[in-house]
Structure 1
Amino acid sequence: MTPRGGDDRPEIAYRETPTGHPIVFIGQKPTMTYVFQLVAQLHSGAGAVIVKARGNAIGKAVDVVEVVRRRLLQGQVTIGPISIDTERLTNRDGRDANVSSITISVARTASEPAPPAPPK
């Protein structure tokens, strides 16, 4: 048994940009793993977090940002800028391959708390 309760997958990889914004790299883990990492980074005081993905993980990156924006931190985050690119990588066979990539910036907004719901 590993210290993380039987989960022997590596930790989520993230770094910081030269401006100090953390980067969350999207890969093969479940979507909610990245959602919680993004929320944790935003709650830790980061003004903005960069979400990056390549290839087949692009759709998952969009899902992660949408779950945070629409469900967990509704009205508390702004999205953008979003940039798409094509990276040229060398695959295992030694051939060059074009791989699409996406970078999404997610920032906390300085908003007031939502008013309480009216009584039913």
Structure 2
Amino acid sequence: MILHVAKKNAEVNKVSAQEGIILVGQKPTPNYVLAAVMQFSQGSDQVVLRARGRAISKAVDAAEIVRRFLEGKVEIADVKIGSEKVGEPGKERTVSTIEIVLKRVE
């Protein structure tokens, strides 16, 4: 099951129930917190928050809120940072990325 939530500027925010991946973008932080908590309540053992550019701080905030809300049940298992090139050839620019893995504690 894949849920698509329309965003400004014709971008799409995807939440994949099968993979537990949440792409963080322009929506308010509580939306991503709710999506992560719902993934865990539906039985997911792992949720991944991915963001790039200005949304990185929002992803970090969402991960910390989820960790505190589900204290003792969820922990931050891994954080990966990197960069990727975006844009058309000749007008490419480098954008920072982050991937935060939240894992259920057994």
TM-score normalised by L of structure 2: 0.82
RMSD: 2.0
How far did residue 13 of structure 1 move? 1.3
Give 1:107's aligned residue: 103
In the other structure, the counterpart of 2:30 is: 32
Residue in structure 2 matched with residue 79 of structure 1 by the alignment: 76
Q: Which of structures 1 and 2 has the bigger CA Rg? A: 1
- Give, as a single letter, the amino acid of the residue that structure 1 aligns with 2:64: E
Equivalences for residues 1-120 of structure 1 within 5 A: 10=6, 12-15=13-16, 21-70=19-68, 72-90=69-87, 95-110=91-106
Letter in 2 for 1:104: I
Please state whether the residue corresponding to 2:44 is helix, strand or coil.
coil
Q: Aligned partners of 2:61, 2:94: CA distance in 1, in Å?
A: 23
The number of aligned residues is: 97
Instruction: Quote the sequence identity (%).
Output: 38
Counterpart Cα distance in 1 of 2:23 and 2:85:
18
4+ residue segments displaced more than 2 Å: 9-12
Higher strand share: 2
> More helix per residue: 1 or 2?
2
Name the SS of the counterpart of 2:93 in structure 1: strand
Unpaired runs of at least 5, structure 1: 1-8, 111-120
d(CA) in 2 for partners of 1:94 and 1:109? 46
